[in-house]
Amino acid sequence: MYLVVGLGNPDKKYENTFHNMGFMCVDKFAEKLGATFDKGECRAITAHTRVKGEKVIIAKPITYMNLSGESLRELVNKYKIEKGNLVVVYDDVDLPMGSVRIRPNGSAGTHNGMRNIVQCLGTTDFVRIRVGIRKETPMQLVDFVLSKLSLDDKKTMEPVFENVAGALVDFVSGQDIEAVMRNHNVKL
């Protein structure tokens, strides 16, 4: 069984913002699998499907970004998810916009949502997909991550969403994380 979690903020006012990259990526992943977000559980909106006989749960926590770990802990405990079968997708302002960095584990870095997840799960041993959002802007960081993507930003990010969704499909299909990293990491 796999749990794929996209991070973001649930309110309508946060749709299409840089901080909701995780939501946008798992939306594309769910679309590829024909899965629908139609269930509310563990303070998340979830979609359930199967890939090669394995159950796949796709989740978007509704706890707001900085408390994402609370929802993840509930989901991991409810479904008894093994740490190697948990994937978290999120925005990363430390990476250039359009880059993708997949890792089998690692620190939370500067991301408050990831810090909360690491704290709540008590481990850094889970797959993470970081989606780069850094670009030149006069805005303060908090204003930037909550700002809407422009049309140009959306054009830049659409292939990124496709790439991340493809990486997720490969991973839940049983492909080794090293192969997923080789095939889908994008360094800019």
Q: Among all residues, which ones are annotated catalytic?
A: 19
**CA gap 93, 132 in Å, rounded:** 6
Which among 130, 133, 40, 139 has a CA at the least distance from the CA of 87?
Answer: 130
Which residues are within 8 A (CB) of 132 and not within 5 positions of it... i.e. 6 or more apart?
92, 94, 95, 96, 97, 98, 99, 100, 101, 188
**CA gap 67, 83 in Å, rounded:** 19
